[in-house]
Structure 1
Amino acid sequence: MDVTPLEETSRLAVAHCPGLLISTSARPSNRTITRPHLARILRALVVRPFGTQPLGKYSVGVAKGSGTSHDRGRRYINASPPAVAPEESFRRSVDIRLEPPCVPKQNLVFLKTHKTASSTILNILYRYGEAHNLTFALPYYDHLGYPQRFKAEYVKHFTKTHRGTFNILCNHMRFYHPEVKKVVPNDTFYFSIVRDPVWLAESSFAYYRFHSPAFSHAKSLDEFVAFPERHYRGLEPNNHYARNVMWFDFGHDNNMEDVPGYVDAVLAQLDRIFDLVLVAEYFDESLILLKEALCWDLEDVAYFKLNTRSNDSVLPLSASSVERLRAWNHLDWRLYRHYNASLWRRISSYGAQRMESDVARLKALSHRLASRCLKSSFPGRVWDPGFMPHSSGKAKIQGYVLKVNLSNDDLELCQRMVLPEKQYLTYLQRKQLISRVTDTKHGGEGGEGRREMVPKMAAAP
């Protein structure tokens, strides 16, 4: 293989690492490393020569004694504290070797469960998919046939000739795997999110207060949960919001009793389908695990909290109500405990210190973006109808006001980060329609389409 002329940094690396080849190839072989990636490695070594330093997508294992450090295709540099001068120790003991790079996953199914911080995940997926010109499996209106079990025909523009051609399926649906498989490719990554059913019920009561008959018959959540059988009729429309709504969203009978073996069988089935289930109470940790599983960058999962309620609409619950809600939503409680335990096993495998560091980096990034974009980092009342979140029941849903005089690039990013899900969905539906019309006129398929600006937000009052 031809070796490129070496710059000063390259000469330094080769002097310390005999046999290292420098290649300009965009796809490094098992024995070569491209010069831009070498520069990143050297910077990491200069800044932090001993310990663990994340470097990005191409994977580098550096020997420490007889072992190497690898982590699912991610790059880390490990070295023992030197007994001699750092340069001599590095020359003697460090062996850089390459592994195939991890490839970002772009075929995704996100089961968007209700009242679980799923709107924030949806915004992340919308932004990522739009930035990478991916095709969304969008609904005709605002959901994919919910509360009916999902059917492929609920996806706009789905036909038998379009089987498996959509990249991202992420809007509200009641999960049904046989039909979902018709829409997305075979290598699709499946994930979802769960929340403690106690606080999910509190949020649902506020949001679906007048939508679910079971809730509307009660003056308060405490009253409802004290004697739920007085208010709840299992087959009455929209009453699934009042009991085991996550279990329902995952496609199962929310009124089922916990007969021996039933829940365990369902959870085992879900484990075979879903690659990862996030937990709302550990949102940042969940996003770090998601980023790692998808081989995405940290910037891809930066976020502002969306669809949040004002503090004065969040009601306190008595200890007795908490216990009753867990008993009433026993299927959701089993589901939550299962995936909460799964999440913490994953965090343990990821490494507590590494997780703490990455969560801090994510929070710092989101804080920098808030300083760059927002008039106030705290959500509040929004008056611009183009950016006003949808509210329901007694829930007062808040949004964000952007700073004035943002640059065009900042405006494009910041608007998308605060755009409520209904408005973002309408925008994507229109954009994909324009792309399809353009493709048809040119006799092509899957064109990138024209990137549009979302509607401008009114200046802060």
Structure 2
Amino acid sequence: MGRKLSAFVTLSLLSLSSVIIFHTGNFGIQTRFVLNDHSLNLYPELAFQPTQPGVSSSIPSNHSSVQNDPEITKSSRTLKINEDQNHVQTLNKTIPCVRQNNFVFAKVHKCGSTTIQSIFFHYGYSHKLIVALPRHFRKAWIGKPHSITSKSYLPTPGGKQWNIFNHHQVYDKDMFLKLMPPDTIFVTILRQPISRLSSAFNYFSLHKYFTNMVNVSVESRRSPIQTFLSDPWYWEKRFHPVRSAYGGLNDLGCIQNCMAQDLGMEKSQYNNPHAVKRYIENLDKDFTTVMILEKLEESLVLLKRRMCWSLQDIIFWEKKKFKKRPYVVKVEDVRFRGSALKTDFTEKMRHNYETYSNIDFKIYNFFFEKLVKDIDEEGKDFLEEVEHLKNILGKVASYCKSTRKPKQSWFKETKWNTRFSINENYCQLLSEERPGWDKILREHYYDSIDKQK
């Protein structure tokens, strides 16, 4: 079969231009290469190797979630070759689109990283990959900043290397490469810095850890974050977060350059412009994809294309949408609503924080502009795929939250995906967060170890 296919392609190349497009239909992935006689000789079998089975084939039957139509799965093994001069990205050499399974997710606090983390847990489970887990159940961290020892993580089945690192840890490339396969790549997600700070204030009630902030906020009729932004330098001296073991409040006790801190920049370098520039350049080299929360769906489609994943791999459902809970400072005096935390900032407040947390703004602005440029270079079919993803996410959410749902809901084949179905088990998996995934994966690993005995 493989030799016949290679022969067919070789003959086809004689009649086509040197640019061809590979459509690997099994996952709705389009990979564009420039081929010549030399490159074809280098990659004759890799370029036409069938992609891995669909998501459903790698999930145990008792957790069945996504099912591909058998006919679609069978027909998707044939490779279609089309010429498209308008949407061709020229590469220096032929590189087959190979699913990327080894990666580190640098989890940045309050940047939508819990949503992405859940996607990656689901991906690892669905494809039977090894996800790093903390030795102690429900720990948010694995190890301490810049230090992961054997005492801090759960032994893996058969002593295998991790495929995925998905827990909290300060980004340290050298440390991760000692623990992960050599082809490991790095991804992360960022958020507009004031929006990130707003989320942290609201979610963790950070006003509690500033001396006298409650009284000042009540007297001025401001929300705590407005009080903070009116003079960050003043309030920094009055910030006293509780310090405890990693996984405690010290995860949250950050008010300045918090994204830079999670991504491994030393505070001693904050005032060195050359060091900051070099640091951002290194991040750009290290990370294959830097997602932006404000462009979440676009980021996920870009991630999907770069990782050679399927549309099913990036589906998510936020079952517990964050509710804007009241900021109870003094019930008898004032009640701060979460909505005020995001909108009622003066230009002076915004300028204060941009100055105070300037490195985070530089990081965010750099990667936001880069993402916009990358999206533009993908062509109009990229935006079509983004709209398609949004449509799928809406239908998945509608099905999963329904109290009267059919046993299965089918999604038809499109240019972006094969036909697949979802069910109640799938919805349950989508709703899991880190503690739930910790339990599921532990049970899965121990079952694997027991079977090996």
Report the equivalent of 2:229. Answer: 225
Instruction: Tell me whether 1:136 sits opposite 2:131 in the alignment.
Output: yes
Cα offset for 1:438?
A: 3.1
Report the equivalent of 2:146. Answer: 149
Report the equivalent of 1:189. Answer: 185
Cα offset for 1:231?
A: 2.9
Report the equivalent of 2:300. Answer: 287
SS at match of 1:29: helix
Report the equivalent of 1:341. Answer: 369
Report the equivalent of 1:412. Answer: 425
Counterparts of 1:332-371 in structure 2 under 5 Å?
332-351=360-379, 353-371=380-398
Counterparts of 1:364-443 in structure 2 under 5 Å?
364-375=391-402, 403=404, 406=407, 410-439=423-452, 441=453
Cα offset for 1:194?
A: 0.4
Matching residue's letter, 2:200: S
Does structure 1 conserve the Cα–Cα contact (< 8 Å) formed by 2:23 and 2:30? Answer: no
Report the equivalent of 2:91. Answer: none
User: Structure 1: how far apart are the matches of 2:211 and 2:133?
Assistant: 30
Unaligned runs of 5+ in 2: 11-20, 36-46, 48-78, 87-93, 218-223, 244-249, 326-337, 410-421
SS at match of 2:355: helix
Q: 1:153 to 1:197 in 2, by over 3 A?
A: farther
Does structure 1 conserve the Cα–Cα contact (< 8 Å) formed by 2:257 and 2:360? Answer: yes
TM-score by length of 1: 0.66
User: Structure 2: how far apart are the matches of 1:217 and 1:322?
Assistant: 19
Matching residue's letter, 2:115: T
Report the equivalent of 1:180. Answer: 176
Does structure 1 conserve the Cα–Cα contact (< 8 Å) formed by 2:106 and 2:187? Answer: yes
Cα offset for 1:250?
A: 0.6
Answer 1 or 2: which has greater strand percent. 2
Q: CA RMSD in A?
A: 3.5
Report the equivalent of 2:73. Answer: none
Counterparts of 1:134-283 in structure 2 under 5 Å?
134-139=129-134, 140=136, 141-145=138-142, 148-153=145-150, 155-158=152-155, 162=159, 165-210=161-206, 213-214=209-210, 217=213, 219=217, 220-233=224-237, 237=243, 238=250, 240-254=253-267, 256-283=269-296
Does structure 2 conserve the Cα–Cα contact (< 8 Å) formed by 1:62 and 1:79? Answer: no
| Number of corresponding residues | 345
Matching residue's letter, 1:242: I
Cα offset for 1:148?
A: 2.7
TM-score by length of 2: 0.67
Does structure 2 conserve the Cα–Cα contact (< 8 Å) formed by 1:193 and 1:279? Answer: yes
Q: Relative contact order, CA 8 A, sep 6+: which one is greater?
A: 2
SS at match of 1:153: coil
SS at match of 1:275: strand
Q: 1:307 to 1:248 in 2, by over 3 A?
A: farther
Q: What do residues 190-227 of structure 1 show as CA deviations (whole Å, max 9, x unaligned)? A: 10000000100000111222597348845401111222
User: Structure 1: how far apart are the matches of 2:84 and 2:358?
Assistant: 49
Cα offset for 1:31?
A: 3.8
SS at match of 2:139: coil
Q: 1:242 to 1:337 in 2, by over 3 A?
A: same
Cα offset for 1:133?
A: 0.4
Q: 1:222 to 1:75 in 2, by over 3 A?
A: farther
Cα offset for 1:308?
A: 3.9
Q: What do residues 223-260 of structure 1 show as CA deviations (whole Å, max 9, x unaligned)? A: 11222233325896437422211111111235753323
Q: What do residues 299-336 of structure 1 show as CA deviations (whole Å, max 9, x unaligned)? A: 21112236642245342331232222222221111110
Does structure 2 conserve the Cα–Cα contact (< 8 Å) formed by 1:254 and 1:331? Answer: no
Matching residue's letter, 1:335: I
Does structure 2 conserve the Cα–Cα contact (< 8 Å) formed by 1:147 and 1:173? Answer: yes
User: Structure 1: how far apart are the matches of 2:395 and 2:367?
Assistant: 31
Cα offset for 1:278?
A: 0.5
Cα offset for 1:431?
A: 2.4
Identity rate of aligned residues, in percent? 23
Counterparts of 1:6-21 in structure 2 under 5 Å?
none
